[in-house]
Amino acid sequence: MPKGAMGIPGTVTAAQTGAPTAGDDTMWRGTSAAVIGIVAAVIGAGSARAEPIVGRASVIDGDTIEIRGQRFRLQGVDTPESAQLCQDAGGKDYRCGQKASLALADKIGAGNVSCEPVTTDRYGRTVAICSLNALDLNGWLVEQGLGMAYRKYSTAYVGQEEAAKAARRGIWQGAFTPPWDWRKGERIGPEGQTVPPPVHTAGACDIKGNISRGGDRIYHLPGSRSYEKTVITESSGERMFCSEDEAKAAGWRPPRG
């Protein structure tokens, strides 16, 4: 008969059979606990969300607010620009962008707004879903016809837009240019038709050479997003150009995005 490690006939040690010893069991429990801890940490990190920012809000424009110095772009909604004109049911022009801003300010009043960050846009603004006493302000703007569902980034408020359109609320009562097309230079004509952006004519010295606060030299073509709101101050070194080649040769560049 075979002998075990202690010389006792018929006995076999755990080491000989490969069965776990008390030390192996302790090591296994320690390793398992470590693995479980790592998995829990990874899951927790993946599900963590930024804490909502709460406070008194000031309205920058129809879809942008500020709380304690931090700006929030409202997710999933695009309201007309501040200088944008729309037409009412009678074909009369009115400042629909300004109306959206004032309506949002009136709605918020002195209440505390809670903004839950979603992402950051290319301008460095925090994109968020903001609410007032459990009312989703993003959806409210669309539902009231003060803005459109920004389908490019979210379809969350398509239902509210369809309801506003059916009821002819806000901008849906007349003719208007979608904000994203307005920023490209499209406008509404006297008969409510869409007027395409003006085309730059070679030889016309109407290209605006602007210098940003950061010192960037940027030129803007007629009909581009920032053309109308860009004011040239020649005493600051800003100027007009007759062609893009001239602007580039002088050290200016086109806007990004």
What are the tens digits of pLDDT across the range 184-208? 878 887 766 666 665 555 557 889 9
> Which run of H or of E encompasses 74?
strand 70-74
pLDDT band at 157 (very low <50, low <70, confident <90, very high): very high
Q: What backbone torsions phi and psi does residue 119 show, to the nearest 5 degrees?
A: -160, -170
Do 9 and 3 meet the contact criterion of CB atoms below 8 Å apart?
A: yes
Residues 158, 173: Cα–Cα separation, whole Å: 18
Q: SS3 for 248? A: helix
pLDDT of residue 257: 56
CATH class held by domain 53-194: mainly beta
Best CA proximity match to 240, nearest among 214, 195, 205: 205
Residues 147, 82: Cα–Cα separation, whole Å: 12
Average pLDDT of the residues in 29-56: 59
Domain with CATH 2.40.50.90 in the chain: 53-194
> Is pLDDT larger for residue 231 or for residue 47?
231
pTM for this model (two decimals): 0.62
Tokens 């110095």 label which residue? Answer: 69
H-state helical runs in 64-197: 96-108, 137-143, 158-167, 179-182
Do 95 and 84 meet the contact criterion of CB atoms below 8 Å apart?
A: yes
Residues 155, 75: Cα–Cα separation, whole Å: 10
Do 132 and 111 meet the contact criterion of CB atoms below 8 Å apart?
A: yes
Residues 172, 161: Cα–Cα separation, whole Å: 9
The amino acid that residue 79 corresponds to is T
Do 183 and 225 meet the contact criterion of CB atoms below 8 Å apart?
A: yes
pLDDT band at 24 (very low <50, low <70, confident <90, very high): low
Do 184 and 197 meet the contact criterion of CB atoms below 8 Å apart?
A: yes
pLDDT of residue 5: 42
The pLDDT tens digits of the residues spanning 99-109 come to 999 999 999 99
The two beta strands, 77-78 and 86-87, are: unpaired
Task: Output the six-digit token pair for 217.
Answer: 């030299």
Task: Output the six-digit token pair for 203.
Answer: 């030889």
Residues 98, 133: Cα–Cα separation, whole Å: 24
